[in-house]
Homo-oligomer: A and B are copies of this chain.
């Protein structure tokens, strides 16, 4: 129970419930879970190109020959890659920063994989850099920092659109989002 309770999102009650479930479960199932947990630590590492999670030296996206090398999407975490891949809208490559600039928590540009990003941009293959950091304060600050840094290299730098979530109601949007949706309105 103590070990389970240290996992994120699992409180003492859940830990107890899981522990009793394990006691009653089929030994084969329990073994499979234990092996899976260990194998994650042994076989999953970070891609040497983009720092996404990978089971080889390079991740699936970096190994895919059908994707374009001309568009690079910068995200904060590997889970953002998963979210974007789910949309099926993006056919370029990624660069995972490993977080966002957050002065209050002592995370500056040096703590992120920004130098590796600049190295990737150096050969001029990449034409567009999409800054897909989170639309919150830290993510915006990181995007602004990167844009200033990279603009002189002469590539197109874009940011994901802010606006109304699809399927919603105008009246439920918060003021700032609705304001941005107005600002970013597009010709039909």
Q: Report yes or no: A135 in contact with B168, Cβ–Cβ below 8 A.
A: yes
Per the bound structure, the CA–CA distance linking A179 and B86 in Å amounts to 9
Chain B residues near A84: list those with CB within 8 A: 170, 178, 182
Least CB distance, A136 to chain B, in whole angstroms? 5
Per the bound structure, the CA–CA distance linking A79 and B136 in Å amounts to 27
| Interface residues contributed by chain A, number (CB under 8 Å) | 58
Per the bound structure, the CA–CA distance linking A137 and B80 in Å amounts to 27
Residues 163-181 of chain A, each 1 if its beta carbon lies under 8 Å from chain B, else 0: 1111111110111111111
Q: Report yes or no: A176 in contact with B184, Cβ–Cβ below 8 A.
A: no
Q: Report yes or no: A161 in contact with B185, Cβ–Cβ below 8 A.
A: yes
Per the bound structure, the CA–CA distance linking A79 and B164 in Å amounts to 16
Least CB distance, A83 to chain B, in whole angstroms? 5
Chain B residues near A16: list those with CB within 8 A: none
Per the bound structure, the CA–CA distance linking A180 and B163 in Å amounts to 9
**Most chain B C-beta atoms within 10 Å of own C-beta, residue among A86, A151, A180:** A180
**Most chain B C-beta atoms within 10 Å of own C-beta, residue among A86, A130, A136, A170:** A170
Q: Report yes or no: B79 in contact with A166, Cβ–Cβ below 8 A.
A: no
Q: Report yes or no: B136 in contact with A159, Cβ–Cβ below 8 A.
A: no
Q: Report yes or no: B135 in contact with A164, Cβ–Cβ below 8 A.
A: yes
Whether, in the assembled complex, A42 has its beta carbon less than 8 Å from a beta carbon of chain B, the answer is no
Q: Report yes or no: B90 in contact with A182, Cβ–Cβ below 8 A.
A: yes
